[in-house]
Structure 1
Amino acid sequence: MNEREAINLLKHYRHRYANYLQLIISYAQLGKLDVVQEKAAELIKVINQDQLFHNMPLPKTIITLIQLTDMKSGLEWTPIIDLEQKPEIDDQQLAEVIQTIHQQIIEQSMNLSLYHGTITFQQKKSEPFTLLLTCRGNFSRKDQLKDSLAKIDRIQIERATDEELSFYWVAQ
């Protein structure tokens, strides 16, 4: 990653937090303190989740996911961290799997739609590392998407509807 890419990633977070703060200030100006408290608590939760994500010992994966979300492809990922112990996974391999999954979803999606996904990094004791993915949007070509994702080694589709896709990937 070069300096310009690093700066763009920092801008992404600055913009995200600034949006929350603008919303909080607007509600405060309207005197809606109950909503101010709700949005402030939401912001704290987001910051805590970001901290857990950034503290994972998977730097390539972290950068890859931030870059994918920042590239304005129409698919935004929210990471969720569920680690009982240090992840037992090769960082490069995980970054490549995430990039492949992202690309398959983008290729099979509607160009003008916005998709939101969660990607849970899960490492339970005595179990293999698992990615749990849920993506919401317009999946009118869900059968094609399921077929393309199924070609990725160790992907299991749990549910596919016109509005939501849930699947997981398990490391060896």
Structure 2
Amino acid sequence: MEEEKVIELIRHYRHNLMNHLQIIHGYASMGKTDKVQQKINNYIAYLEEERKLVNLNAPAFALYFLQFDSLHSNFRLTYHIETEHKDLQPIDKLLVKRCKQLMENVVRLTDKLEIYELTVRLYDLASKEIRLEFIVKDCLQHNINADNSQETAIYNDGNDMVCAVSVIYE
């Protein structure tokens, strides 16, 4: 990665950290200790998920999500890493490719002027199969079953839209 891109990623990461700290500081200055505790707990949970992400030994996959906010400004991302696999290096590039495909579908099926909550889940389906799900909260879409391909499934789950794909791990 070029030095400029690394610095841009660090700048973006620092900006997000400062946002979290400013919110916590604001609640602390108003004496709202319950809100301070809630925000700190939320940020600790976020950092725990980030730790799991960067420890997958899939640097391109981790980098995709670390720079996600700068690529998709109308999505508020959370992710949950629920896999037992600790070395995803063999499928690192494939995971990024599948993420980009899922995100293309999400962007195509959403309004670029709306803000959406996007939850990404990575979990084990079987011993050699991993599932990626991009879940857009409160984004009920109609007639999306026709968009399913052999690789990608797009469906409604309650009021949420789910774009999912399975990846074989060898």
Superposition TM-score, scaled by structure 1 size: 0.82
**What residue number does 1:2 align with?**
2
Residues 75 and 29 (structure 1), Cα distance of their counterparts in 2 relative to 1, 3 Å cut: closer
Correspondence list, 1:52-131, <5 A: 52-86=52-86, 90-123=91-124, 126-131=127-132
Q: Report whether the alignment pairs 1:170 with 2:166.
A: yes
Aligned pair in 2 of structure 1 residues 164, 6: CA closer, same or farther (>3 Å)? same
User: Between Structure 1 and Structure 2, how many residues are aligned?
Assistant: 167
Q: The residue matched to 1:171 in structure 2 has which SS?
A: strand
Counterpart secondary structure, 2:77: strand
Shift of 1:108: 2.7
SS in 1 for 2:135: strand
Q: CA deviation at 1:59?
A: 0.9
Identity %: 22
How many angstroms does 1:111 deviate by? Answer: 2.0
In the TM superposition, what is the alpha-carbon distance from 1:87 to its structure 2 partner?
5.3
Question: Aligned pair in 2 of structure 1 residues 77, 9: CA closer, same or farther (>3 Å)?
Answer: same
Q: Which moved further from structure 2: 25-34 or 6-15?
A: 6-15
Q: In the TM superposition, what is the alpha-carbon distance from 1:26 to its structure 2 partner?
A: 0.9
The residue correspondences of 1:29-68 to structure 2 (distance < 5 A) are: 29-68=29-68
Structure 1 runs (4+) deviating above 6 angstroms are none
- Cα offset for 1:118? 1.2
Unaligned runs of 5+ in 1: none
Aligned pair in 2 of structure 1 residues 10, 147: CA closer, same or farther (>3 Å)? farther
**CA-atom RMSD, angstroms?**
2.4
Structure 2, unpaired ranges of 5+: none
2:56/2:85 contact within 8 Å kept = no
- Once the two structures are TM-superposed, the CA of residue 124 in structure 1 deviates from its matched residue by 5.9
Contact 2:102–2:163 (Cα < 8 Å) also in 1: no
Paired amino acid for 1:92: K
Of the structure 1 ranges 8-17 and 71-80, higher mean CA displacement relative to structure 2 is found in 71-80
> Given the alignment, which residue of 136, 141, 156 partners 1:159?
156
Equivalent AA in structure 2 for residue 155 of structure 1: T
CA contact (8 A) 1:113 1:137 kept: no
Q: Shift in Å at residue 143 of structure 1?
A: 2.5
